[in-house]
Structure 1
């Protein structure tokens, strides 16, 4: 419990008044609870002895009215306490989700390579919900139980120290059992939450990739995979449940035995005249008050451990390293000169370190169109992803307009660079909203609409959009379902052009379209690339020939560069690749690879 307050105190601080009021009401309610046994004692010691007197019934009614008013007051205090606890919990949970979502936008892209999407979703939903439950009622139960146990034991000693000692004789056994239960629960809860993340990840991946699943007819295999993960979660849930099932009956048993012993000893003390019948009844009422928190200790401790486990999982996100931002960021209009100086990039996986780029030296002039070609895995996409600082080089420097790329303001840098990725991603909203995704928060609606239409026209997608029933207000399905590959690609190009970028990066942007659609996209790109520094990542020679200069990349190194005619005459591999694609010349794969090895 201390861990939660220590690490999440900043989220609780804005609502400390409401939470403090709730805690105060809990203290008041507990104080009122302790008055009830005194009323019982008074009825038995003062009212019942004179019940047959003239005003005996009126006195009894007065005491009953007092008990009723006490119960009503307790109910009112409890209601306002619940309102303040729940209100605080909901606000803390909302702030946590906002902060986590903001954090996920500040971490580098490499962070998502180490985390499963489904697990992140589980943390932002299930784990936040667990913390919300802690502030909503778990803490109040723990506080109320602790106060009740302490206060009731003290009041028991005041009523009868002999019977109080009998009750205390059972406490060491219960405490040892609770400590053991708490440790076992912490381990069980951790395993359960991790498995819940795994199950969510499997579900997310299968829903996202449902087309692939159906196209390969692997529904049964994926159903079985989900079933296995679901059974693992069921097992983890059962282990935590069984821990509760062991602890709660133990507490109930000791409470029953304690009540039986107190009844026998208390009856003897009453008969000996050491205590009054009213004191005996009050003591039993205290014992009744003690039973509820003792029974609640097990589930309350379980919930606390679950909340602590969830808080740790959330803190793992908060503690993740963020994208590096310079102390004095450069904000200016980009000209488009790019210079790579001995740039290398590598990443680490369970098998070790993998080098992706090695010693890249490359200069691109403002407005120049450069194509980067090479086999899959040669480092083409990594190279261009370094320019908008989606990744940072392991060594070496990248300069933009003569300024170290690390000194540029990230937002200013990325707003002037547009990337059309090989895997087109469209959001589940209107086509117009997708095109204007990079728009700022300000601007007139009419001007925004004009720019959207202009970008769509340049991308050769306007005519298709206006043929739709809702035009630019047509909702595209999740990830662009409902549009063909070429249509999605041209919407993505329109989105890139909407911001009028100074640098345009096309990362295999025509890899998923047919030759006819590719030709249409190429025709639009010729006009769009004019006056912009453009980098075309491709394996298609027809796209590469749109560039002023072609870079041949292999195994993370630049093997050759120059104009098409120069490379065709001087580089065996480039000539093979060109002829195979554009002249329909059949060449065995071994010869192609030998040509590459000879670079």
Structure 2
């Protein structure tokens, strides 16, 4: 039960809902305890020949009234307890999602989407069951068992003790099976996570699957994951299928004992026929709590296992956060300095960047060129603090980047990544992603600068056009330009374009760059590109090779140096001449 401590703030806030709900459960049980007494009175008076039609009608109406009261109180405890458990589900799912948003990007490199989805759905549902029906039936069983046992003892002690002979065997079954059920449920959750992950991955990559004609192979892989999930569930069902009938068998033994020994007592006159009827009815009330013990234990076992899995995520600490010495009053202007920057993703891997020393003045444009894997994207990711650089290696306006609030840092950087991810919403909302309220004049202006305005106006619904998942309904060039517009509308102090013009033609690229140069005059810009034509007008150009700066200068200076930059430029010129020939 220690795993449920995470929910303590919610429980404290809603304690009266739970308390009132349990009170309604107690009222429901109390009313249920009255009916057997009425049946005893009716039976005894009937046996004595004193039951009149008026009395029978009175008792009938009374039993109907009690049934109506039970129905009302059952509605109330469902409203208070089950309703509150739904609010808890809402609370926990929000808490879980909000925590995931705080975690560093590196966390998602090591945790599968399908597994996280299973936590957010299956696991949270299991916790809700424990904190809703589990609590109700646990109290219901405890209250009914104690009160019914007291009443049974008041009718006949010997008959009660004999009828309870099967109880020790029930306790052994519950204890033994509970541990096995817990382990098998963990296997079920793990299998469900793998199945969810497989489905999510396949749907996300469906175009790749089809282009490589791998549908049958993917179906086979899904079938394998589905089989594993079914086997885990069947493994649980088998033990659960044995558990419930065994409890019912031992519970039924109590009724067999009553019919034999209780009937003998009636015949001997030690108890009345009304006592026998009441005893039998009370034992029937007590049977449900006994049978429910296994069900309640199963619910709490599942809830506990799921809560542990959720807690494992909630206890994850973000690798990147605001340090105690963060300067919350800092205002970004745009000067960037790299001082002896060396970075590796982990202690066991070689450095991705080595001895980077570089200064970009406010309002200047830096261009970065280099082969694939040379560390270009890593450099700008460190500037965004998507990964943590060491202190004293990156500065903005003379302040260590680790002392700048994350929100301030990222709000003042407009970033267009290589992976132009768009959300499944309208084009307008994708461009306006950084803001809550739509400002159509600004959205249209950003679209015009990014040279995507005319494309958008060609769509029937224009800016209200819905974008498919990850932007699949748009061309690669359109996605890139919408991503550029999304960065521009922020009006950032620092603009980073990471190879974001690769999917547009040279003519469109030139138009975009012409518009971008107008706004880049007032901000610090970093352009990463494989096309020399995209960056030749930059104030400063660096060439990265295996994480090190091997060349730097202006376009003309680098051409004269006759190094890698000159080689790449001549190669691209040759390719362009061949294409135009």
| TM-score of the superposed pair, with normalisation by structure 2 | 0.93
Contact 1:541 1:582 in 2 (8 A): no
Report how far residue 22 of structure 1 moved: 0.8
SS at match of 1:386: helix
SS at match of 1:567: helix
Q: Distance in 1 between matches of 2:358 and 2:295?
A: 63
| Residues 359/297 of structure 1: CA separation in 2 closer, same or farther (3 Å cut) | farther
| 1:71-103 deviations in Å (ceiling 9; x for gaps) | 221111111111222321222222222222222
Report how far residue 402 of structure 1 moved: 0.6
Counterpart of 1:107 (choices 84, 103, 106) is: 103
Contact 1:50 1:56 in 2 (8 A): no
Count of paired positions: 575
1:338 aligned to 2:329?
no
1:205 aligned to 2:204?
no
Task: Determine the structure 2 residue equivalent to 1:141.
Answer: 137
Bigger mean CA offset, 506-515 vs 237-246: 506-515
Q: Distance in 1 between matches of 2:574 and 2:270?
A: 112
Q: Distance in 2 between matches of 1:199 and 1:380?
A: 36
Task: Determine the structure 2 residue equivalent to 1:597.
Answer: none
Q: Distance in 2 between matches of 1:165 and 1:342?
A: 83
Q: Name stretches of at least 5 consecutive residues in structure 1 with no aligned partner.
A: 587-599
Counterpart of 1:481 (choices 466, 472, 484) is: 472
Report how far residue 180 of structure 1 moved: 1.6
Contact 1:331 1:412 in 2 (8 A): no
| 1:289-327 deviations in Å (ceiling 9; x for gaps) | 122122222233222222222222222232221341244
SS at match of 2:264: helix
1:241 aligned to 2:237?
yes
Counterpart of 1:170 (choices 166, 173, 191) is: 166
Q: Distance in 1 between matches of 2:13 and 2:350?
A: 46
Contact 1:117 1:201 in 2 (8 A): yes
Counterpart of 1:78 (choices 70, 74, 85) is: 74
Task: Determine the structure 1 residue equivalent to 2:226.
Answer: 230
Task: Determine the structure 2 residue equivalent to 1:591.
Answer: none
Task: Determine the structure 1 residue equivalent to 2:376.
Answer: 380
SS at match of 2:383: coil
1:424 aligned to 2:420?
yes
Contact 1:163 1:265 in 2 (8 A): yes
| Residues 535/70 of structure 1: CA separation in 2 closer, same or farther (3 Å cut) | same
Q: Distance in 1 between matches of 2:204 and 2:329?
A: 38
Task: Determine the structure 2 residue equivalent to 1:320.
Answer: 316
Report how far residue 251 of structure 1 moved: 0.8
Counterpart of 1:538 (choices 529, 534, 540) is: 529
Q: Distance in 2 between matches of 1:335 and 1:171?
A: 76
Contact 1:374 1:553 in 2 (8 A): yes
1:460 aligned to 2:459?
no
Counterpart of 2:493 (choices 484, 487, 502) is: 502
Task: Determine the structure 2 residue equivalent to 1:13.
Answer: 12
Contact 1:366 1:532 in 2 (8 A): yes
| Residues 355/238 of structure 1: CA separation in 2 closer, same or farther (3 Å cut) | farther
| Residues 189/499 of structure 1: CA separation in 2 closer, same or farther (3 Å cut) | same
Report how far residue 360 of structure 1 moved: 3.0
Q: Distance in 2 between matches of 1:560 and 1:160?
A: 99
Q: Distance in 2 between matches of 1:361 and 1:215?
A: 44
| 1:494-530 deviations in Å (ceiling 9; x for gaps) | 1111011111111121233444444443344333432
| TM-score of the superposed pair, with normalisation by structure 1 | 0.90
Counterpart of 1:288 (choices 258, 281, 284) is: 284
| 1:463-522 deviations in Å (ceiling 9; x for gaps) | 222232222222222222222111111111111110111111111212334444444433
Report how far residue 573 of structure 1 moved: 3.3
Matches within 5 A, 1:251-330: 251-322=247-318, 323-327=320-324, 328-330=326-328
Counterpart of 1:184 (choices 180, 183, 200) is: 180
Q: Distance in 1 between matches of 2:576 and 2:474?
A: 34
Bigger mean CA offset, 501-510 vs 566-575: 566-575
Contact 1:118 1:197 in 2 (8 A): yes
| Residues 353/480 of structure 1: CA separation in 2 closer, same or farther (3 Å cut) | same
SS at match of 2:333: coil
SS at match of 2:434: coil
Bigger mean CA offset, 564-573 vs 499-508: 564-573
Report how far residue 553 of structure 1 moved: 2.1
Q: Distance in 1 between matches of 2:224 and 2:43?
A: 62
Task: Determine the structure 1 residue equivalent to 2:557.
Answer: 566
| Residues 129/530 of structure 1: CA separation in 2 closer, same or farther (3 Å cut) | same
Contact 2:134 2:299 in 1 (8 A): yes
| 1:538-576 deviations in Å (ceiling 9; x for gaps) | 233333424222222233333332233333444643333
Counterpart of 1:97 (choices 89, 93, 99) is: 93
Counterpart of 1:62 (choices 43, 51, 58) is: 58
RMSD, aligned CA = 2.4
| Residues 15/345 of structure 1: CA separation in 2 closer, same or farther (3 Å cut) | same
Q: Distance in 2 between matches of 1:293 and 1:494?
A: 63
Q: Distance in 1 between matches of 2:174 and 2:147?
A: 20
Counterpart of 1:49 (choices 47, 50, 61) is: 47
Task: Determine the structure 2 residue equivalent to 1:159.
Answer: 155
Report how far residue 375 of structure 1 moved: 2.6
Q: Distance in 1 between matches of 2:375 and 2:29?
A: 67
| 1:42-89 deviations in Å (ceiling 9; x for gaps) | 2233x12333x4x63322332333222222211111111112223212
Contact 1:336 1:503 in 2 (8 A): yes
Bigger mean CA offset, 414-423 vs 30-39: 30-39
